[in-house]
Amino acid sequence: MSKRALKKYLTDLKKKELEAQLMDLYTRFPVVKEYYDFIFNPKEDKMIQEAKAKISNEYFPLKRRRPKARRSVAQKYIKHFIKLGVESHLVADLMLYNLEVAQAFSMDRNVPDSFYKSMLNSFNEMVRYISLNALLPNFRDRIVKTYNFTQENKWGNEEGFSRALDILD
């Protein structure tokens, strides 16, 4: 169904019918429920803290023995928060937190090259997001600290991290 056809259909509905359809969507689809819950009661800080706990658990698990260290977990939360419209400084904080936890994880482990490439992608996305949302003054120190860590610990793709910082200049 096209947008135009949907708009025509919705304008033809009576108010009660429209309310009934929205309530049906709300109860039937968890994504719709989450959207409306967020719109009417945005607990952004709580959502960010839950996401940070999940990301931390990926690298430093509390219940299982071996860490999974999947970048996809953090990416899922970041994309979801951007889609919901969470404040950009909170999303940027989560992006940086993901990198900081990954760096702490890499300190005492022998990680594969794919890990470094994945973290470079996260770093690039974070720098672009912060640049586009004009958040550099708020996060400059943490970005520099993250970058310096990659250089001091000889992470793979050192040139890639340097190029990513060129976006900010």
Question: For the chain, which residues make up each domain, given as ranges?
Answer: 1-41, 44-166
3-state SS class at 70: coil
d(C-alpha 13, C-alpha 91), whole Å: 38
51-62 tens-digit pLDDT: 999 999 999 998
d(C-alpha 167, C-alpha 134), whole Å: 12
80-100 tens-digit pLDDT: 999 988 999 999 999 999 999
- pTM listed for this prediction: 0.84
Check whether 6 has a pLDDT greater than 90: no
Check whether 78 has a pLDDT greater than 80: yes
The predicted model gives 26-32 an average pLDDT of: 92
